[in-house]
Amino acid sequence: MTRTNRVDALSDVAVCYLCLDGGADETSQSLRRDCAFRGTDAGYVHLECLAGFAASKSKQARDMIECIKPWRLCPGCHQEYQNELAVDIAAEFVPFVRRQYPDDTRMQVEALNVKLRVLNSMFERLQPRQKREFGVTANVMLSLIDRMKGDTLSPLPRRYSQFEARAYDVHGEIALDEGTEESARRAEVHFRTSLKVCEATGDTDGIAAAKSNIAMAKSIYEGGNNEEVLKANKELYELRVAKHGEGSKLAINSGKNTLLIYRKPIAGMKHWN
């Protein structure tokens, strides 16, 4: 594989741990590192090499979890990819699955869910183009889930009902981000659809989250009353502490949102976590 001579400015000693080259890859992308590796030369990788490595591992996977793992976790530090690298490798996962599993709707939904979760974790930093992509990805997921419903007489597995609810949450979050009363009303419609999906499967965590999101949307178009938002988010926090533990990521995010209610406008909060 031919490489350019340009070396990543981050480190003049770093090389890609997969191809052992320090230059840019064939698409002129320089070395990347967004995981738990530390030091001046550890953990650097080309996106092209990382995608090739993840694809190879996925093809050898014995189940769905093993197939997804190399697209989410660094093989060296075993921590989730972060920031733009997480977005870019998740974006590579979706077309890989379409090529590798063209007839496997569930696997395609799984790949889209990985992408949605990464984009959501960075929502406040997304560019307008990426936010549009966020919405398009949610629409594709909903379309595939509708196909899954039509392919069988059995109820949709709860895992995919949760994905369906999250896709509606995405549309609600995007609408809230517009910051108008009209968009807040549209957001409430999406959140109420999410609530119905969660109620149908008895997803108590999803129900509490949807109620919190609905309260946020109503607060915006009703004049900014925080009381109902605070009540709903405290209930969500308490449920997540009881269900997942005080130190869980979900509980911590809910706790942060509760503090934000006191400190900044509702529109600045994170809605799907």
What pLDDT tens digit does each residue of the chain (273 aa) get?
A: 333 333 344 445 788 989 998 877 666 678 888 888 877 778 889 999 999 999 999 999 989 999 999 999 998 888 899 999 999 999 999 999 999 999 999 999 999 999 999 999 888 889 999 999 999 999 999 999 999 998 877 788 999 999 999 999 999 999 989 989 999 999 999 999 999 999 999 999 999 999 989 988 888 888 766 777 778 777 877 877 887 787 777 767 766 666 555 455 444 444 444
Topology, domain 103-268: 1.25.40
- Residue 215 and residue 188 in contact, taking contact as beta carbons nearer than 8 Å: no
Helices (H), ranges, the chain: 47-60, 64-68, 83-100, 105-121, 128-151, 158-177, 181-201, 204-221, 227-244, 249-263
Query: 75, exposed or middle or buried, with CB in 10 Å at 0-12, 13-18, 19+?
Result: middle
Q: Structure tokens of 258?
A: 């509760």
pLDDT for res 257: 63
Q: Residue 116 contacts by C-beta under 8 Å, 6 or more apart in sequence?
A: 134, 137, 138, 141, 166, 167, 170
- C-alpha–C-alpha distance, residues 272 and 108, integer Å: 22
The pTM for the full model equals 0.82
- The separation between the first and the last C-alpha atoms of the chain, rounded to the nearest angstrom, is 41
Residue 115, pLDDT score:
96
Q: 232: closest CA among 216, 217, 248, 221?
A: 216
- Give residue 76's pLDDT: 84
Question: What is the predicted pLDDT for the residue at 272?
Answer: 44
Alpha carbon distance 62, 58 (integer Å): 9
SS3 (DSSP) at 6: coil
- Domain regions of the chain by residue span: 103-268
Which pLDDT score is estimated for 26?
A: 64
DSSP 157: P
How is residue 215 annotated by DSSP?
H
Q: Give me the pLDDT at residue 101, please.
A: 93
Give the three-state DSSP class for 264.
Answer: coil
CA atoms within 13 A of residue 30's CA, in its CB half-sphere: 9
**Residues near 130 by beta carbon (within 8 Å), at least 6 away in sequence:** 87, 119
